[in-house]
Every structure is written in structure tokens, then in C-alpha cells.
Amino acid sequence: MICIQDLSFTYKNGTEPALREVSLTLPDGDFLGVIGPAGAGKTTLTRAIAGMIPHHYTGDYYGSVTVNGLDTVETPLDQISRLVGTVFQDVESQIISPVVEDEMLYGLENFGVPRAEIPRRLEEALGMVGIADLRERSIASLSGGQRQKVAIASILALKPQILVLDEPTGELDPRSSRQIFTLLRKLNEEQGITVIIVEQKIMLLCEFARHLAVLNEGRVMRQGEVREVLAHAEDLEAAGVNCPRVTTYSRALSARLGERQPVCVDLDEAEALTRRLMK
């Protein structure tokens, strides 16, 4: 369980708070999507959950974050890192090794995974993301999307209980993006791994996430189940977050017909609504 209470944070060399009185609670095994405009504080939120704030990034810190009952301020970063695996937004800076295999090994070696287990973990993680063939390649020879997959695989290999992914599909094509989301859902459902994902592709978020949190100017504007959050589409759009087209469609219908229609979050629902209205 992750519990964030009244968290406010200003980076040491920042002027404005990057997060303002953020409160969020995630039960174990949740799948949370985080969305918001540029500079809203999404990355900062992921850093706070992973303990990089305040252990690596210092600044003015108010409130508290607990991960599985451990206060991130008091717990050493290494201990939090064993629980929380983070995929960074900027892949370039996440990858420290020049060759894929070494990047995969790095965390496994440091966290003392038994030698006998390392090859299996490595192959498994590469296989899950579908890049087993890239194992011996140098990072410099990979495309942006391939690098992103390496970054994801290197974190999956560590088998964290909580996965934090900051725009992990930014460089991926639609098909690979969907593959990653499908993989996350599988890990979430079969192994009960908690997933927190920052993502701009709202359609994917609505399809795969259980809860949504909308951030704007460091505040959580809305949080709750996907459908509840989408019901407040006007607020989201005011904050610069585009809603799925089907949601916009059902809202437009409500407006035109002058009566409130249910909010659609996927194509099936939109089809059902359309059919009902056509009758």
C-alpha cells in the first residue's frame, strides 16, 4: 500500500512548489494512471514514491509518503528501491551501461540476486518485453523505442512489488505501446504487482487503468475510478488533458439531446449508447 499525505515539495533550486498538498492512497495491486499537462508534477510524484525525493533530489518537503508502511524519509533509499522499480521518463539518462546485457545485469548484481538465478531473470525479462534478440547489442545502436524497452526490461528483471513508469511508451509505436500495457495488466493481475503509470495516451490509460489521477500545477485535480474521473471531462479539458473521443462523443450527445447520457469510456459503450438512442 502506498499512502501519500499532504505532500508538498519544492526542488532545492526551484521557485514554485512542484507538488502542492497531494494526497493519494493506493491499495496493493492497484493500477493507477497519472495524467496531466507538461510541468504538472507527474515526474516529481513518481520520484517521491520511489524515494528519490527526498533522498536524491533535495528541497522543501512537507507531508509524508509511506510505501508498505515504510516512511520514505526515514527508510534508506536502497530499501525502498527493493520494493519500488522505476522506469524514467528520460530513457537516455536511465541507461547506464553501453550494452543491453550489462544494463540488465546492473540492478540484479547490486541487489544480490543469487548468481544461479540471474540468467533466468535476465532472459525472462527480455522475453516479456520481446527484445531477447537485442541482448548483445550496444545501446548506441538501438532506436529510441528499443531503448525504452530495454529500460523497462531492466526494471522488470528486478521483480519489484511496485512498478512506477514515467511515460514509458513515449517513443513507442501504437502497437508496442499496447503490448507494454498488456504486459503490465498481466503482471498486475497475475502477480498482484501495483502499477503506477504516467501516460499521455489517454485511450490506453482508460482501457487498462483501474484508477486515474489528474495532476495540474502540482495539485491532484481529480482522482478516482476511471469512469468517475472522465465524468468531469470539462475540468480535465480546462487543465489541458484531452479526453478519449468516445467520452467527448457521449458528452456531445448529452448536450445536444438535452438529457444526461452515461459517460462512455470505450468503443463498445459508445456503440451501445448509439444503438439505444437510434431506436
Partner 1 sequence: MNNLFEYVPGNSFIHRLNPITKLLLTVVICVAAFVTDRLPVLLGLLAVNLLFGLIAGVAGRTWNILRGLLKIAVFLFLLQALLYRGGNPVFWIITDQGLLTAGKVVLRLVVVCMPLTLALAVTRISDLTNALTQVLHVPYPYAFTLAATIRFIPQFVEEMNGIMEAQTARGIPFDTARGLKKFSMIVPLCAPLLISSVRKTDQTAAAAEVRGFRLRTRDSAYKRYPFSAGDFAVFACCAAILAGAILL
Ligand X SMILES: Nc1ncnc2c1ncn2[C@@H]1O[C@H](COP(=O)(O)OP(=O)(O)OP(=O)(O)O)[C@@H](O)[C@H]1O
Residues that bind partner 1 (CB under 8 A): 47, 50-52, 55-57, 77-78, 81, 84, 86, 88, 90, 92-99, 102, 105-112, 115, 118, 136-138, 140, 154, 158
Rounded Cα–Cα distance for residues 151 and 37 (Å): 24
Least distance (Å) between residue 164 CB and Mg ion = 12
Tell me the CA end-to-end span of the chain in Å, nearest whole number.
Answer: 47
89: contact with Mg ion by CB under 5 A: yes
Ranges of H-type helices in 50-163: 52-55, 77-83, 91-94, 100-110, 118-129, 144-156
* Mutual angle of helices 144-156 and 118-129, in 10-degree steps: 140
Number of residues that bind ligand X (CB under 6 A): 14
Give the SS3 label for residue 249: helix
Enclosing H/E stretch for 197? strand 194-198
43: contact with Mg ion by CB under 5 A: yes
The option from ligand X, Mg ion, partner 1, none interacting with 44 (CB < 5 to 8 A, set by class) reads ligand X
Least distance (Å) between residue 151 CB and ligand X = 16
86: contact with Mg ion by CB under 5 A: no
Range in contact with ligand X (rule: CB under 6 A) among 10-18, 134-142, 173-181, 256-264:
10-18
The residues near 162 (Cβ < 8 Å, ≥ 6 apart) are 2, 49, 67, 83, 84, 85, 193, 194, 196
Residue 42 vs 201, nearer CB to Mg ion: 42
Q: Per-residue x/- mask for Mg ion, residues 208 to 227, rule CB under 5 A? A: --------------------
Rounded Cα–Cα distance for residues 98 and 115 (Å): 22
Place of cell 482522482: 223
Residue 11 vs 249, nearer CB to ligand X: 11
Residue 93 vs 256, nearer CB to ligand X: 93
Which of residues 5, 8, 39, 77 is near ligand X by CB under 6 A? 39
Residue 44 vs 188, nearer CB to ligand X: 44
Which residue, 225, 191, 232, is CA-closest to 210? Answer: 225
Using the 8-state DSSP alphabet, how is residue 89 labeled?
Answer: S
Range in contact with ligand X (rule: CB under 6 A) among 33-41, 70-78, 233-241, 243-251:
33-41
Residue 12 vs 256, nearer CB to partner 1: 12
Give counts: helices (H), strands (E), the chain. 13, 10
Residue 45 vs 134, nearer CB to Mg ion: 45
Place of cell 522475453: 127
Least distance (Å) between residue 52 CB and Mg ion = 13
Residue 93 vs 143, nearer CB to partner 1: 93
CA angle at residue 17 from 168 to 15, to 5 degrees?
A: 110
Positions in the binding site for ligand X (CB under 6 A): 11, 13-14, 18, 36, 38-44, 57, 89
